[in-house]
Structure 1
Amino acid sequence: MHAVYVEQADPTDPLAALRIGERPDPTVPEGWARVKVEAAAINHHDVWSLRGVGLPADRMPMILGTDASGLAEDGRPVIVHSVISTPGWIGDETYDPKRSLLSELHQGTQAEYVTVPASNLVARPAFLSPEEAACLPTAWLTAYRMLTHDSGLSGPGTVLVQGASGGVASAAIALGKALGHRVWATARTEAKREFALEQGADAAYETGSRLPERVDAVIETVGEATWSHSLKSLRPGGTVVVCGATSGPNPSADLNRVFFLQLRVIGSTMGTRQELGELIELLGRTGLRPRVDRVLPLDAARDGYAAVLEGEMLGKVVLRP
């Protein structure tokens, strides 16, 4: 089958590690299901895989991709929940210390077919296109959990989203408004600030700008480049929720500010199948839909990855086998 994969990582030039070609059709273990992929989104996780972060050489070749929508073998439209917990795990699967995402231990979604545990299939409602549905399991689910489970907000508040054009960040803007918050965003360019406003942000500021007032929570996906600004933007007792570090993972901790203002620093990774169901219900109730920047065939995946690497997209990049 045709697929996008990595067979040898390149830490300095991830695009050089990208391969597009034929891979073996997947086998279907007992309790698993095969899905004919209709759409698969590109995430920063895939870029890290190309660099070899979290994906050792002995697991390669590895098909990339953590999320997808498609058709089950009985023809049902489904969305793939990509958090794979260990057999027998009970409870929140994101807390399973041995959990993995598709494309870490098991082959990923950027291919004609993918196999997953049957319990990881979620019905795709008719109101979502395959491309929209493919945006949900990683970026949109992560943003939903950050805003609900992790933000510390029990009612409407003011939320700052750093780096407005990325997949998680743009989802957080739209979802934050749908959940009743006042949402501010930062971005490097005027075009990206305009995009944040289109997504529903109440205001958009240049990266690092002084804000009119301090906020209740910060959605942080950028890392070193925005970390100091995130901490300085929080009110006493506020929360910064961090799910990624695209600009670098080792910012100055500024612990004096953290303990003196009693700030909460919460790590967040993906979400549960139940939360994915809640997210789908929210989209159905509000009419909110993921913003798809572009849809490309698998053979043009390199162009999509280049856009993600350069930050030259507004919303999600989606591949169609």
Structure 2
Amino acid sequence: MLAAYVTHFAPDSPLDGLEVGERPEPETPEHWTTVEVKAASLNHHDLWSLRGVGLKEQQLPMILGTDAAGVAPDGSEVIVHGVIGADGHGVGPKEPRTLLSERYPGTLAERVAVPTANLVPKPAELSFEEAACLPTAWLTAYTMLFTQGGLTPGDRVLVQGAGGGLATAAVTLGAAAGLEVWVTSRSAEKRERAVALGAAGAVETGARLPARVDAVLESVGQATWAHSIRSVRPGGSVLVCGATSGDAPPAELTRIFFQELRVQGVTMGSREDLAALARFCARTGVRPVIDAEVPLAKAAAGLARLNEGDQFGKVVVRP
């Protein structure tokens, strides 16, 4: 089958380690299902894998991808939940949690095998391309806002960065749920597009907000950490799901303890949350913002766009 995979690590030029070619068909252990992939989507996790983060040389070649939607052998349309080992289903209770493409081959392929329990029904209202955007960026945004963040209509939230899949998800979901969403970006165009998407306002990266927020969604790290800590109200939360600009500089611990801030890490979310997110989209008409669609054979072009940071929304790959 055709797949996009890591052949070697290239920390400074990640696309150098990418190859698109034939790989063996996936094995399907007991309590697993092989899904015919109709659409997948890209994440920064794929670029980190190409750089060698989270993988070892002996695991190569490794098929990339954590997100997919497709068709199960019984003909049902499904969304793949990419967290393996979270509760033992299909792998045993002692296996540590990983994401697809870390221990098991990922979704940038014509077919992918996952524990059967990891399959969530795809609502008929969502296309395969839209559904494939949900399992990582959109699920993480949903978890940060509602499950871990506990935000409710009328609350104020800051999203650091305006163009990526997580940011566009947080703006769209937050606005639909009645939150006052603020975003930051160095790009005036991306700020304007975020407001058009439903953000209450957008400011340059590091600029002061009109008022402090109840929570910050932080995925940038070093470049925005100090601004995040200074933008949240006393007793508020900073929810962290990544560090694309590197680990944070001084942690602002004095401000954290004095202002009694909560710092919460988030990695994607549960299958139950993914199913709830899919239903939320189906019922409200909310849909993922898709920046570009590329065929699997040209996955490198999609990853290059992600690496350059020019996208606004998700990049979808179609086998």
Q: Deviations over 1:15-42 (max 9, x none)?
A: 1111111111111111110111010000
Q: 2:84 matched to 1:84?
A: yes
User: Is the CA contact (8 Å cut-off) linking 2:88 and 2:95 kept in structure 1?
Assistant: no
Structure-2 residue corresponding to 1:253: 251
Corresponding position of 1:199: 197
Partner of 2:184: 186
Instruction: Name the structure 2 match of 1:27.
Output: 27
1:194 deviation in Å? 1.3
Q: Residue 235 of structure 1 corresponds to which residue in structure 2?
A: 233
Q: Is the Cα contact below 8 Å between 1:39 and 1:70 reproduced in 2?
A: yes
Question: 60-69 or 278-287: which moved more?
Answer: 278-287
Q: CA deviation at 1:73?
A: 1.1
- Helix, strand or coil for the counterpart of 2:103? coil
- Whether the 8 Å CA contact 1:223–1:244 is kept in 2: the answer is yes
Distance 2:34 2:55 in 1: 23
Alpha-carbon displacement from aligned partner over 1:244-284 (angstroms, at most 9, x marks no partner): 01111232201111111111111111100000111111112
Q: Which residue of 1 aligns with 2:14?
A: 14
Match status 1:264 vs 2:262: yes
Residues in 2 aligned to 1:86 and 1:289: alpha-carbon distance in whole angstroms:
27
Asked whether the equivalents of residues 89 and 96 of structure 1 are also in contact (C-alpha less than 8 Å), the reply is: no
Root-mean-square deviation (Å): 1.7
For each residue in 1:172-231, what CA deviation from the matched residue of structure 2 results, as whole angstroms up to 9, or x when unmatched? Answer: 111111222111111111111012112210111111111111111000111111111111
1:63 shift after superposition: 0.2
SS in 2 for 1:219: strand
CA distance, structure 2, for counterparts of residue 75 and residue 180 of structure 1:
37
Alpha-carbon distance between aligned partners in 2 of 1:249 and 1:87, rounded to the nearest angstrom: 29
Q: How far off its partner does 1:123 sit?
A: 1.1
Task: Mark the CA change 1:96 to 1:251 in structure 2 (over 3 Å): closer, same or farther.
Answer: farther
Q: SS at the partner of 1:144?
A: helix
Give the direction of change, closer, same or farther, for the CA distance of 1:74–1:181 in structure 2 (3 Å limit): same
235 and 115 in structure 1: CA distance in 2 versus 1, 3 angstrom threshold: same
The aligned counterpart of 1:104 is 102
Which residue of 155, 158, 161 corresponds with 1:157? 155
Distance 1:200 1:311 in 2: 21
Deviation at 1:155, TM superposition (A): 5.0
User: Does structure 2 conserve the Cα–Cα contact (< 8 Å) formed by 1:152 and 1:239?
Assistant: no
User: What is the distance in 2 between the residues matched to 1:53 and 1:109?
Assistant: 18
Q: How many residues align?
A: 318
Structure 1 residues 248 and 238, CA, compared in 2 at 3 Å: closer, same or farther?
same
Amino acid at match of 2:80: V
The CA deviation at 1:133 is: 0.3
1:1-321 pair list within 5 angstroms: 1-85=1-85, 88=88, 98-154=96-152, 156-321=154-319
% identity of equivalent residues = 57
SS at match of 2:317: strand
Structure 2 gap ranges (5+): none
Structure 1 alignment gaps of length 5 or more: none
Quote the Cα distance in structure 2 between the aligned partners of 1:29 and 1:97.
15
- After TM superposition, the structure 1 stretch with the greater mean CA deviation from structure 2, 109-118 or 178-187, is 178-187
Deviates more, 1:221-230 or 1:97-106: 97-106
How many Å separate the matches in 1 of 2:173 and 2:140? 11
Query: TM-score of the superposition, structure 2-length normalised?
Result: 0.96
How much has 1:153 moved relative to structure 2? 2.9
The TM-score normalised by the length of structure 1 is 0.96
Q: How far does residue 300 in structure 1 lie from its aligned partner after superposition?
A: 1.3
Query: Do the aligned partners of 2:136 and 2:268 also contact (CA within 8 Å) in 1?
Result: yes
